Chains A and B, each alone.
Chain A
């Protein structure tokens, strides 16, 4: 019942206009696509395309030598509202795109597409590009994963973090053996250099807080297996699930806030267990020596090189190479937010996100998914509240709870209308408000007062009344039964 509208501009460069255009430029067109999540829920996506030819400034920008420069120059000329896309169609013979590449997706909200003959072929290609840059059926289904029947969901979809108003990111350094290693990490600098830019970008989606800690004598839950060939220790893939539990007890819960926590652990193995490598399912060592746990965080094993001479005095001082560590952690962070770049056709070229760690269209990708998820969450919350009320009639809904419910419904409706108008940012804000007020309504403590006053207790109280009263009634009932039975027999007797 939700309609997602993506405003799109298709700009034809000189010499790239297909011959079979139905109307002269500029004109508008609408394409629709249906994503059915389950029997009752379908999401319609609607691409409102505006076809036009390039302006002279854009022409100049497209004349740049490489696609990257063109992208940078074009960025200044685009409309930059969240969720909108601009496609520049370049001639088939253009040297802007490298050989064999027909689509170039830039850092911002635009892409360069090589013209492919007829309009139909171009439209098919455009559809692929928009799916990469906004949302796919899979990402929407993942956002609505609560409603997708089991078994239909890809395992990837379970990995993504639930949409929330905020996240806490905790970097922990685990040093199980402080006697032999003194580990130092410049976490403050690393966070400022690598994590901050990404989070600044993501601050539109949620609030983030970052902290770090060092834990001593924190050990993994499994003892690694010794491998003689490589004289190293190995953790196999099937033992990884047992690694986290004992560590988690030490991590310290986030007592001061209710946001979900993302844990990134850097584990420096004990001296007696190093070097330690993680094996994947096939038995090959994992190149990053790290793994992630869905919706929880990631762990990386950082091996300390053995000292050259065995007589080197303990403890050994170790400085962690933060660039190497943060590279892994940021990749894991992207994975947890569902920003992997795997399902892209080979003729696509994606520009790297650069310093910010996240391109604009990836942000849109997140926003689309989170908005849809928020709307789904609100409707689930309100439905379950309603179901609860149906089941337990004792619950008192106070005026403020009621107003929160109304507020949530109004916000959801406004989010849905905003989505169908293509205002992604406004829709996301509205959906966030809806989540806040629906949660507040659902978790209001006043709902709990009479929740556990079941009917059988009431009955137990009144049993001293009901039981003696029932005795004469039952006796007379028995008498009636006896009399009717007698009366049935009597006529034969009399006659």
Chain B
């Protein structure tokens, strides 16, 4: 599935989603046979007792405030969270092994995941697939905000697709274009799902998603028109012969009811209406499997033209969004501030906030203040796990009630710790990243939602369970922070060595001179001009010469 949606700011978000379902029980049997499911991941899941695996590699930041609610957001860098089977005895060991193997598969530095950046959230992450127990000791969560995502991560990701990048929607995935964008996020989700409606047997579902945001407003001479060819420099020519579903959705929801602002060409095969994340959306659907699509022309190049320039003033603001920054001055103490906005006109709703702070920022929990509309807002649930130096990060989880139409400010102060000189990463003056905090909420929708067939609606609605029609689940990530730690002058040891050595050498030199120099009386020779002159004068005076 490919979802193309123009964003309010004129950018275009393209979200690919590839789903592979595998009707097999991974936990049993010594001999395993793979058809469409990639073998590398299948073996991993079977060998390490993984129940659910979510890995996201992201470059850039999804600007919720301007781009609206993302289909599936991921924090900048690498994010990995895994639920293990209850049969796994040593979860930490399995987690370590898993992250190492994954770093090999995806060419990412996931092997830097260790106990200093792994946390066990209690409430924020729930299993998304079939699960009866939610014992959070089986959960591990880690973020590497420093991770840089590039082509070498995309290639193994593409290799996991049954058709590779040879056919179907995946031909659009050209690395050169994908990384020439303002946001790039690729993810792998593995979870167990029901095989059929009666849910007697378990299948494994592999979802590979890729979200790219192209900035056409600045690169396309102020025009917001786009086409597949402009975005990916390719067009769709065929489908993957193994796919049972292959569709392209284009978001053509009218911003205001009365006039059509945009037109798509060629005419879509059908229109699809759905309520996604509280908004009524209209999608133009191109079913690539229907033979009529490729009959007229050999390739499909979806184009979208705006009929008249859109006025940017009517930008809708998402119901829930958040900001985060570091406050304070100096290199000793600081303050992390998080602003959470609830723009819903009349409903209050709770939000779970998860903060993971590395140990070298020592949080002072007594300074935690939550202020909404000038009054203090007591969180109804707090889970705090203090850090241990070089072993465990801080974990702070809070359940906060957000009143309608409000801004909530959460501040907590910290002290910067001094690191050992070997613990600094290369280029320490760049600063230290603090991973994004995670906001999970059930957001009540503004428009009434009718029961939609979950399988029918495009993309991610089926990933998160929706409890009822009146609210929808949202997980947001705030910006990662960049904190400066007191950084020593790394050339200092060498300078000290140089200085001491010079002093020692000078001392040694003079001692050596004193000890080895031989003093001997010099025989008076005829002397120089002065001496002769003196002798001449002495002769005149009758004094013996020198």
A188 touches B31 (CB 8 A): yes
B38 touches A252 (CB 8 A): yes
* Contact A469 B509, CB 8 Å, known A211-B31, A214-B34, A256-B101: yes
Alpha-carbon distance A217/B33, docked complex (angstroms): 18
Q: Which of B162-170, B427-435, B533-541 contacts A (4 or more CB under 8 A)?
A: B162-170
* Complex interface: chain B residues within 8 A of A452 (CB): none
* Complex interface: chain B residues within 8 A of A257 (CB): 47
Residue-wise, chain B 100-113 has the 8 Å CB interface mask toward A (1 for contact) of 01001100000000
**Which residues between 129 and 168 of chain B lie within 8 Å of chain A, taking CB atoms?**
159, 162-164, 166-167
Residue-wise, chain A 467-490 has the 8 Å CB interface mask toward B (1 for contact) of 111011100100000000000000
Q: Which of B282-290, B358-366, B495-503 contacts A (4 or more CB under 8 A)?
A: B495-503
* Contact A213 B241, CB 8 Å, known A252-B39, A464-B497, A468-B501: no
Residue-wise, chain A 422-465 has the 8 Å CB interface mask toward B (1 for contact) of 00000000000000000000000000000000000000011011
Q: Is B420 an interface residue (CB 8 A)?
A: no
Residue-wise, chain A 205-238 has the 8 Å CB interface mask toward B (1 for contact) of 0000111111011000000000000000000000
* Contact A464 B501, CB 8 Å, known A213-B33, A214-B34, A469-B509: yes
Q: Is A250 an interface residue (CB 8 A)?
A: yes
Q: Which of B30, B241, B505 contacts A465 (CB 8 A)?
A: B505
* Contact A216 B502, CB 8 Å, known A211-B39, A256-B101, A471-B509: no
Alpha-carbon distance A461/B491, docked complex (angstroms): 12
Alpha-carbon distance A421/B501, docked complex (angstroms): 66
Alpha-carbon distance A473/B33, docked complex (angstroms): 76
A461 touches B494 (CB 8 A): yes
* Complex interface: chain B residues within 8 A of A461 (CB): 494, 497
Q: Within the complex, what minimum Cβ distance (angstroms) separates A465 from chain B?
A: 4
Q: Within the complex, what minimum Cβ distance (angstroms) separates B167 from chain A?
A: 7
* Complex interface: chain A residues within 8 A of B516 (CB): 476
Q: Which of A216, A255, A462, A471 contacts B105 (CB 8 A)?
A: A255
Among residues of B, the one whose C-beta sits closest to the C-beta of A169 is B31
Q: Is B520 an interface residue (CB 8 A)?
A: no
B163 touches A216 (CB 8 A): yes
Query: How many chain B residues touch A (Cβ–Cβ < 8 Å)?
Result: 39
* Complex interface: chain A residues within 8 A of B454 (CB): none
Among residues of B, the one whose C-beta sits closest to the C-beta of A462 is B501
* Contact A211 B33, CB 8 Å, known A255-B104, A469-B508, A472-B512: yes
A191 touches B508 (CB 8 A): no
Q: Is B43 an interface residue (CB 8 A)?
A: yes
**Which residues between 239 and 254 of chain A lie within 8 Å of chain B, taking CB atoms?**
250, 252-254
Alpha-carbon distance A469/B508, docked complex (angstroms): 7
Alpha-carbon distance A465/B512, docked complex (angstroms): 15
Among residues of A, the one whose C-beta sits closest to the C-beta of B45 is A256
**Which residues between 338 and 361 of chain A lie within 8 Å of chain B, taking CB atoms?**
none
Q: Which of A187, A192, A217 contacts B163 (CB 8 A)?
A: A217
A211 touches B44 (CB 8 A): no
Q: Which of B242, B506, B508 contacts A178 (CB 8 A)?
A: B242
A473 touches B166 (CB 8 A): no
* Complex interface: chain B residues within 8 A of A464 (CB): 497-498, 501-502, 505
A179 touches B508 (CB 8 A): no
A211 touches B509 (CB 8 A): no
Alpha-carbon distance A250/B497, docked complex (angstroms): 53
Alpha-carbon distance A257/B105, docked complex (angstroms): 13
Alpha-carbon distance A192/B43, docked complex (angstroms): 20
Alpha-carbon distance A253/B106, docked complex (angstroms): 12
A213 touches B164 (CB 8 A): no
Q: Is A26 an interface residue (CB 8 A)?
A: no
Alpha-carbon distance A214/B47, docked complex (angstroms): 20
* Complex interface: chain A residues within 8 A of B494 (CB): 461
B506 touches A213 (CB 8 A): no
Q: Is A315 an interface residue (CB 8 A)?
A: yes
Q: Is B32 an interface residue (CB 8 A)?
A: yes
Alpha-carbon distance A206/B34, docked complex (angstroms): 24
Residue-wise, chain A 288-309 has the 8 Å CB interface mask toward B (1 for contact) of 0000000000000000000000
A-B contact pairs, 19 of them (CB 8 A): A192-B31, A209-B31, A211-B31, A211-B33, A213-B39, A216-B163, A250-B159, A250-B164, A253-B104, A254-B43, A255-B104, A256-B44, A256-B48, A461-B494, A464-B497, A464-B501, A468-B501, A468-B508, A468-B509
Q: Top 9 closest A-B pairs, CB basis?
A: A468-B505, A465-B501, A464-B501, A213-B34, A217-B166, A252-B40, A212-B33, A464-B498, A256-B47
Beyond A216-B164, A315-B241: 20 further Cβ-contacts under 8 Å? A179-B241, A191-B31, A192-B31, A211-B32, A211-B33, A212-B33, A213-B34, A252-B40, A255-B101, A462-B501, A464-B497, A464-B498, A464-B505, A465-B501, A468-B508, A469-B505, A469-B508, A469-B509, A471-B509, A472-B512
A residues sitting closer than 8 Å to B (CB atoms) are 170, 178-179, 187-188, 191-192, 209-214, 216-217, 250, 252-257, 315, 461-462, 464-465, 467-469, 471-473, 476
B residues sitting closer than 8 Å to A (CB atoms) are 30-36, 38-40, 43-44, 47-48, 101, 104-105, 159, 162-164, 166-167, 240-242, 494, 497-498, 501-502, 504-506, 508-509, 512-513, 516
